[in-house]
């Protein structure tokens, strides 16, 4: 509910928050993930890049509970966890933002932020008559949006009256408000224009600075280089390199991604498709 | 609206100030602006326009007795339309609601005529209707069958079952409890039936549920974007099941109101009630695509159809014109909805 920075017992920066060890997932004859690893550290934005079919989507689905892996382990704060549905992951404080603008357009901003987690009035009015505390939801929604430095028109206006960037901002803000451990974003800027993407990227930085680490999956290399602290490059179902925007240039990352160059963690076995 | 949204795009100081000003204007704006943006404004204007026309062209339309009659005539469809509104808000549709209500009247009528306790018969009939809704809701929510098909099939099953139970006859109801909803409470010249009071009570209850509780938010969200509702953790299946079951409970109550209006349980009654209730919902401004609408709009929609029928009869115009005008209104309402949805995309 409240900002993670207000919580005590936050891991020191750099400590591993979420870890995936040797995750394997097969669909029939297709190996989507082949011993894939991932470590998300406190206070960072971890970008995940890879060509189509590199396994980044499947890895994310494993981390947010949408897919159960065939083998491997997921650890949250060093403790093994088993997600059977996205609800399991959410209960442990992992929120996911999907690319296809998961909002209810006819409802207002405050209703969307609290959708599925509505606040009721205190006392018997709330518990017996289930009366919503609309004023408190509006107030808290406004406060959260202010804290995230995301400016919107009246918090009572319908989401369908917002631009695409503002809508995605609402979805991102909802995740940020309710996440306690980390936020996963699956192509959050895919449907957005340049300026609108900028708004969402700003939001991602704000969330990280408030103390929540972020996993960002994106096709858009400039976006990843703009906000990511570290970049994990996926290829053929596994991590082939872990780098930072300073160490490698965009074209080098693309080369590793497509197999034209070798990553640090490239498997020893000869690449089945060296020309990528 | 679009302009306002764009002005907030930049996170600059000016735009933040502009947004603040706009927000303030929005909140403390003139009364007229708020009335104009009310979702029930359009239907209300249509209702008032028809009332004005009939008040000017006839001497009897505005008489208290006539207005009371108009409301009495809309009590059954008006109550069925409450359930229909909830279902349409979830992007569903109910073609069986009239059939379910008739089943209720026949079951109650036959059991009472066989000499059973009237209160228990009524309770049994209402519970039976609710169970039918539970079955429809299960098919829609668990098996993910399209509501149109489920309720179309259900309409056939229910209609046949009702005729089998009726054994080819009708059941005149003389019991006081079963016809109680037709009794009147006179305030001056105005006759108010208990059925009207029940209907208004149900509208108020459903207004509360839809707008003041989390359940209502979920109903709108499911109709608006079902996938998003699922992703944010709303128990979509349970909500759908509750909507269909609750709607059918209202149909059971509508059966009681029907017995108060005409104390004769007839398997051939309410043949077009399903379509009439859809008409009322659509004219009232609720979107057939789900997620948008207002329960008071449905009440106004019901009254528009009733006023039209009553007024045209009083003016001596061929009642076929009523169907024609209603058809135009339905298409007009859906066209308006479609246009506004397209503009917002």
A267 CA: distance to closest CA in chain B (Å): 37
pLDDT of residue B345: 52
User: Which of B1, B213, B221 lies nearest to residue A115, judging by beta carbons?
Assistant: B221
Nearest to B16 among A103, A130, A151 (CB): A151
- Which residues of chain A are under the pLDDT cut of 50? 1-11, 270-271, 274-276
* Of the partner residues B2, B19, B215, the one whose CB lies closest to the CB of residue A151: B19
Q: Which residue of A has its CA nearest to B232?
A: A116
Query: Distance between CA atoms of A24 and A47, rounded to whole angstroms?
Result: 20
At residue A261, the pLDDT reads 86
Q: Nearest chain A residue to B11 by CA: give it.
A: A151
Partner residue facing A149 (CB), from B11, B221, B225: B11
In tens digits, chain B (345 residues) has pLDDT values of 333 333 333 333 334 444 444 444 444 445 666 666 667 888 999 999 999 999 999 999 999 899 999 999 999 999 999 999 999 999 999 999 999 999 999 999 999 999 999 999 999 999 999 999 999 999 999 999 999 999 999 999 999 999 999 998 999 998 899 999 999 988 877 889 999 999 999 999 999 999 999 999 999 999 999 988 988 889 999 999 999 999 999 999 999 999 999 999 999 999 999 999 999 999 999 999 999 999 999 999 999 999 999 999 999 888 788 889 889 989 998 888 888 777 655
Chain A's closest residue to B223, CA to CA, is A104
- Interface size between A and B, measured as CB pairs under 8 A: 105
Nearest chain A Cα distance for residue B217, angstroms: 8
Joined together, the tokens standing for residue A86 give 């996205």
Smallest Cα distance from B91 to chain A, Å: 13
What's the confidence (pLDDT) of residue B8? 37
Cα distance between residue A138 and residue A125, in whole Å = 19
Q: What is the pLDDT of residue A268?
A: 52
What is the pLDDT at residue B20?
A: 43
Report yes or no on whether pTM surpasses 0.95. Answer: no
Which domains does chain A possess? 4-107+180-258 (3.40.50.300)
Report the pLDDT value the prediction gives residue A156, as an integer from 0 to 100: 84
Whether B11 sits inside 8 A of A104 (CB atoms) is no
B215 with A131: Cβ contact below 8 A: no
Of residues B22, B26, B220, nearest to A106 (C-beta)? B220
Closest residue to B344, CB basis, from A101, A151, A160: A160
CB contact at 8 A, A21 and A196: no
Residue whose C-alpha is closest to residue B333's, from B288, B299, B295, B290: B288
Nearest CB to B5 within list A117, A118, A163: A163
Domain map (residue ranges) of chain B: 42-336
Backbone φ, ψ for residue A46 (5° rounding): -100, 115
| Closest Cα in chain B to A146 | B16
Q: What is the pLDDT of residue A52?
A: 87
pLDDT at residue B301 in the model: 95
pLDDT of residue A74: 95
CATH class of B42-336: mainly alpha
Query: Mutate which of A114, A134, A160 to test chain B, going by most B C-beta atoms within 10 A?
Result: A160
Measured in angstroms, the CA of A45 and the nearest CA of chain B are apart by 22
Give A-chain residues touching B21 at CB under 8 angstroms.
none
Contact A116 B19 (CB under 8 A): no
CA proximity to B264, closest of B121, B80, B108? B108
CB contact under 8 A, B22 and A111: no
B-interface mutation test, from A115, A141, A142, most B Cβ less than 10 A away: A115
Q: Which chain A residues touch B if contact means CB-CB below 8 Å?
A: 86-87, 90, 98, 100-107, 111, 115-118, 120, 130-132, 149-154, 156-157, 160-163, 165-166, 174, 195-196, 199, 202
Chain B residue numbers with beta carbons less than 8 Å from the beta carbon of A86 are 231, 233
Tokens of A190: 């895919």
Q: Would the CB atoms of A151 and B224 count as touching at under 8 Å? A: no
């Amino acid at each position: 509910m409240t900002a993670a920075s207000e919580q005590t017992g936050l891991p020191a920066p750099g400590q591993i928050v979420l870890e995936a060890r040797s995750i394997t997932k097969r669909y029939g004859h297709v190996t989507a993930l082949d011993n894939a690893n991932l470590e998300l550290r406190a206070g960072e934005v971890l970008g995940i890049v890879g060509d189509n079919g590199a396994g980044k989507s499947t890895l994310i689905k494993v981390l947010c509970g949408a897919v159960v892996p065939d083998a491997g382990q997921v650890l949250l704060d060093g403790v093994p966890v088993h997600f059977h549905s996205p609800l399991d992951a959410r209960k442990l404080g992992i929120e996911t933002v999907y690319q296809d603008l998961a909002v209810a357009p006819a409802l207002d901003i405050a209703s969307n932020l609290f959708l599925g987690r509505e606040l009721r009035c205190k006392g018997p009015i709330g518990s017996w008559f289930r009366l919503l505390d609309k004023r408190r939801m509006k107030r808290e929604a406004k406060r959260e949006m202010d804290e995230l430095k995301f400016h919107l028109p009246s918090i009572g206006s319908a989401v369908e009256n917002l631009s695409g960037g503002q809508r995605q901002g609402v979805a991102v803000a909802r995740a940020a408000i309710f996440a306690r451990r980390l936020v996963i974003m699956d192509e959050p800027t895919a449907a957005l224009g340049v300026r609108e993407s900028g708004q969402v990227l700003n939001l991602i930085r704000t969330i990280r600075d408030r103390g929540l680490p972020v996993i960002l999956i994106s096709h858009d290399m400039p976006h990843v280089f703009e906000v990511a602290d570290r970049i994990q490059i996926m290829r053929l179902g596994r991590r082939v390199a872990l780098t930072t925007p300073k160490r490698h240039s965009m074209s080098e990352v693309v080369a590793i991604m497509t197999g034209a160059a070798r990553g640090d963690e490239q498997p020893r076995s000869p690449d089945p498709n060296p020309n990528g | 609206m679009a302009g306002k949204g764009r002005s907030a795009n930049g996170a600059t100081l000016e735009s933040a100030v502009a947004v603040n000003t706009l927000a303030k204007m929005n909140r403390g704006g003139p009364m007229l602006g708020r009335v104009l943006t009310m979702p029930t404004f359009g239907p209300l204007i249509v209702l008032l326009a028809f009332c004005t026309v009939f008040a000017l062209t006839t001497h009897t339309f505005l008489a208290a007795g006539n207005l009371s009659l108009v409301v009495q005539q809309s009590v059954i469809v008006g109550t069925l339309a409450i359930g229909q509104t909830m279902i349409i808000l979830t992007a569903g549709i109910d073609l069986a609601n009239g059939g379910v209500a008739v089943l209720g009247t026949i079951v109650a009528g036959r059991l009472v005529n066989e000499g059973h306790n009237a209160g228990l018969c009524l309770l049994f009939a209402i519970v039976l209707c609710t169970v039918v809704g539970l079955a429809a809701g299960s098919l829609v929510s668990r098996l993910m069958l399209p509501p149109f098909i489920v309720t179309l099939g259900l309409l056939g099953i229910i209609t046949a079952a009702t005729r089998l139970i009726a054994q080819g006859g009708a059941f005149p109801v003389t019991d006081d409890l079963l016809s109680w909803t037709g009794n009147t409470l006179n305030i001056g010249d105005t006759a108010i039936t208990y059925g009207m009071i029940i209907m208004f009570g149900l509208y108020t209850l459903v207004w509360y549920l839809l707008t003041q509780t989390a359940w209502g938010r979920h109903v709108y969200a499911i109709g608006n974007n079902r996938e998003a509702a699922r992703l944010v953790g709303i128990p979509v299946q349970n909500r759908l099941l509750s909507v269909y079951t609750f709607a059918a409970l209202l149909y059971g109550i509508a059966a009681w109101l029907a017995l108060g209006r005409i104390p004769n349980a007839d398997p051939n009654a309410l043949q077009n009630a399903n379509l009439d209730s859809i008409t009322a919902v659509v004219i009232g401004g609720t979107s057939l695509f789900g997620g948008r609408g207002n329960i008071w709009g449905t009440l106004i929609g019901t009254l528009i159809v009733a006023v039209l029928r009553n007024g045209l009869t009083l003016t001596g115009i061929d009642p076929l014109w009523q169907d024609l005008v209603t058809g135009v209104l339905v298409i007009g309402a859906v066209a308006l909805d479609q246009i506004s949805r397209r503009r917002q995309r």
